[in-house]
Amino acid sequence: MGIGKLYTYTSLPNVTYSAAVEQSTSPADEWQRYLDARKKVDAELAQLAGMENPLVADIFLVHQEILHDKLLTDGVRAAIDRGTSAATATQQVTSELVQLFQNLSDDYFASRSVDIRDVGQRLLAHLSGVSLTGQLAALPTGTILLAEDLTPYDATHLSPESVVGIALAGSAPTAHTAILARSLGIPLICSVGTAVLQLPPGQNAVVDGLQGRLVVEPDPELLDSYTQTRQRLLTFRVTAESHSHEPAVTLDGQRVLVHANVNSQEDMLQVAGSGADGIGLLRTEYLFQERTNPPTVAEQIDAYRLIHRQAAGEILTVRLLDIGGDKPVRYLPRIAESNPFLGVRGIRLLLQHPELLRDQLQALIALSQESGFTGVVRILVPMVSKVVEVHRVLEVLEAIPGYAEQHQPGGPLQIGVMIEVPAAALLADRLAPLVDFFSIGTNDLAQYTMAADRVNSAVASLASPLDPAVLRLIGMACQAGQMADIPVAICGEMAGDPSIFPLLFGLGVTEVSVVAPAVALVKEAVRLTDGDAARQLAEQALQADRAQEVHRLLHPQ
Ligand code: PEP
Ligand code: MG
């Protein structure tokens, strides 16, 4: 929650461009100027890529790759050889590449066009000597920044001392700018519409990140309540972080394991100090992508062992490879699918490629058999929509030597399914007796329940995991889990919002797995939760008509 005064920011890429164009000389000199500018940008990016937060560092590693990409370099060289200035060549080639990426149907690549534009901006700034960031660097303390969008370049020049909140007309919560703002601790709301850009600068305003609202000229009473909420949130965070390594127990004495989600080896940098009780979701896709052959059993064992050693907790939950039409790997034939999310994904793909499934299962069993291994390996099956899929995985497991000995009550190996397709939630009572645990993937469960693509921002508000329809399915899975006496975890993004924990607990969720920075906050939310009150809250939420009503139950004003 940020409280301050409005300031409207317009970025100035064209200024640098025209300033640079005027200095045009011979092709050899222009190429040299380009190389000099590139060297400076490279040094800048190398420094940013060395930043401690791995999420932030990753963004600038990608920018370095773009800077040295053949498409960009060869394109600029060819344009300069045709007699164009270094600045015009940079402007033209980066604009063409931005266009090319924007037109790709894959949302992931389309969103990378911002990164290309950003690298282009950095080059132009050095070619012209004009600083784009003067405006941002000189902002007064207590600024609420309004902008159409911010590039990562802009965002790296923001200081949390002066900028207390950001409201963007466009952009998305998963954009790089949002990640950067989060790492700086600046509240940011996005997609608020272009009308905000017309607001007179200097007005008092509040960026309310809880409700996703910009409040302009609040009356003194409202301002007072925002100030108090802000203070409460800050105190909550400080208290949470001071207890992050202690167990999370509800007011009525229930221990709730708060695990971490891990997407890559680098994520472990954050997990290690987070206080996580273990790993609740290791997305193993990172081991399988960007290579020409699948990883061997031995390579996989090494990778899983490393993650388990670095995590302080006992439990290591490894999700079997969840790739499909939208995330291709080179060594599998690519099938064109018009709806990849409804296509051959997760366990469907693994059952079509039994060697991939068997190798991964074999690696996980072998890890649980190693002499130095202490703890539990939980194997998690993604995208289950039919009971028979679980039977088939169990058949493959049973054919692997050692499985039966390892998979005993209290033993080091457990099998679970992801509840992320409505069919699995509806058949949860049939699935529960077959497995040792459930993990509910609310990112997918919301998209499939609401028939709203999770990467399409036009339907983002439809796909809310707080929709009563999604909550009812979560409730069904929890009930089935309870009947079979197995743990029911949630590993979708919603679990990382501490204000949602009481609702999930009331629905019957027994464990959560969240991004590392949310571990301490969610543990603190557990400590403030009372079972009876949580169950009442869940009852009310299940009777609601829509997500907004549930949101109001969680944030009464
Ligand atoms: C989910 O669907 O909620 C989930 C945790 O898996 P992913 O986001 O990797 O699909
Ligand atoms: Mg999923």
Q: Please report which ligand is nearest the Cα atom of 440.
A: 1
Q: Ligand 1: which atom is nearest the Cα of residue 444?
A: 2
Give the distance (Å) from ligand 2 centre to CA of residue 366: 26
Predicted TM-score of the model (pTM):
0.75
**What is 135-222's CATH superfamily?**
Phosphohistidine domain (3.50.30.10)
> Has residue 15 got a pLDDT over 70?
no
Task: Work out whether the CA dihedral 379, 383, 386, 388 comes out positive or negative.
Answer: negative
Residue nearest to atom 6 of ligand 1 (CA): 441
pLDDT in the model for residue 24? 61
pLDDT in the model for residue 327? 66
Residue nearest to atom 1 of ligand 1 (CA): 441
Question: What kind of fold does domain 250-554 have according to CATH?
Answer: TIM Barrel (3.20.20)
382, two tokens: 């993604």
For the segment 56-113, what is each residue's pLDDT rounded down to a tens digit? 788 888 899 999 999 999 999 999 999 888 988 998 999 899 888 877 766 666 667 8
Q: Please report which ligand is nearest the Cα atom of 262.
A: 1
Q: Please report which ligand is nearest the Cα atom of 442.
A: 1
> Has residue 115 got a pLDDT over 60?
yes
For the segment 245-276, what is each residue's pLDDT rounded down to a tens digit? 999 999 999 999 999 999 888 888 889 889 99
pLDDT in the model for residue 18? 61
Q: Ligand 1: which atom is nearest the Cα of residue 440?
A: 3
Architecture label for domain 18-128: Orthogonal Bundle (1.10)
Residue 279: φ, ψ to 5°:
-105, 120
Residue nearest to atom 9 of ligand 1 (CA): 283
> Has residue 442 got a pLDDT over 60?
yes
> Among 63, 407, 478, 491, which one carries the catalytic annotation?
491
Listed by start position, the domains of the chain span 18-128, 135-222, 250-554
Q: What kind and span of H or E run contains 398?
A: helix 387-398
Residue found under tokens 């409700």 = 211
Give the distance (Å) from ligand 1 centre to CA of residue 443: 5
> Among 176, 259, 308, 551, which one carries the catalytic annotation?
176
Q: Which residue has the higher pLDDT, 115 or 533?
A: 533
Task: Work out whether the CA dihedral 333, 334, 336, 340 comes out positive or negative.
Answer: positive
pLDDT in the model for residue 236? 93
pLDDT in the model for residue 139? 86
Verify whether residue 308 is a known catalytic residue: no
Verify whether residue 478 is a known catalytic residue: no
pLDDT in the model for residue 218? 94
Give the residues across from 278 on adjacent strands: 315
Residue nearest to atom 10 of ligand 1 (CA): 444
For the segment 272-308, what is each residue's pLDDT rounded down to a tens digit? 889 999 999 999 999 998 788 999 999 999 999 999 9
Give the distance (Å) from ligand 1 centre to CA of residue 251: 30
Q: Please report which ligand is nearest the Cα atom of 327.
A: 1
For the segment 118-149, what is each residue's pLDDT rounded down to a tens digit? 898 889 888 877 766 667 777 889 999 999 88
pLDDT in the model for residue 456? 72
How much of the chain, in percent, has pLDDT values that exceed 70?
93
pLDDT in the model for residue 23? 58
Q: Ligand 1: which atom is nearest the Cα of residue 441?
A: 3
Return all residues near 325 (Cβ < 8 A) that are at least 6 apart: 334, 335, 336, 337, 340, 343, 344, 345
Residues flanking ion ligand 2, Cβ below 5 Å: 420, 441, 444
422, two tokens: 């409505």
- Range list of H helices, 82-201: 86-102, 107-111, 113-128, 134-137, 152-155, 176-184
pLDDT (average), residues 191-195? 88
Q: Ligand 1: which atom is nearest the Cα of residue 443?
A: 3
pLDDT (average), residues 511-536? 96
Ligand 1: residues with CB < 6 A are 281, 283, 322, 420, 441-444, 491-492
| Mean of pLDDT over the chain | 90
